[in-house]
Amino acid sequence: MPAYTDSLRGYGFPKFKRDNFVCVYCDLDGKVWPYYLYLSEDHLLPKNHPLRNDFAYITTACVFCNGLANREQYDVEGKTPDQLIEQKRAVVLQARQKYYDFWKHNVQPKKIVADAGTIGNADRP
């Protein structure tokens, strides 16, 4: 396999494979095209933490969840990667719900129930 320099095919690929190409927060399935393109690495530890770049402390997240997860500060001391993911997941899912509610009220197409007899060229003189 060629040496790739991007995350999806290169340095992030082993982590994505370990995590079965699924976002650990929302379960977006990167094995389905084009969702694969949305995968990113999430560092579970803050910058300057000595274990930040340790394989175990970098996980798979979709781009959206990764952005949400990194808007908060977390208590990380003495926590395992699984504990850190659970801590972040709660924050991410709560924020995703707010975005969903906004979408539902402001973006989602409204259902239109039409009477087939009143639509189309048949109604024109």
Q: Is residue 67 part of a domain?
A: yes
Q: Is residue 8 part of a domain?
A: no
Start-to-end Cα distance in the chain: 67
Q: Is residue 47 part of a domain?
A: yes
- Counting the structural domains of the chain, the total is 1
pLDDT bracket for residue 116 (50, 70, 90): low
Quick: pLDDT tens for 82-91.
Answer: 999 999 999 9
For 3-49, what is the HEC assignment?
CCCCCCCCCCHHHHHHCCCECCCCCCECCCCCHHHHEEEEECCCCCC
Domain of residue 28, residue span: 13-123
Q: Is residue 6 part of a domain?
A: no
Mean pLDDT (the chain, rounded) = 89
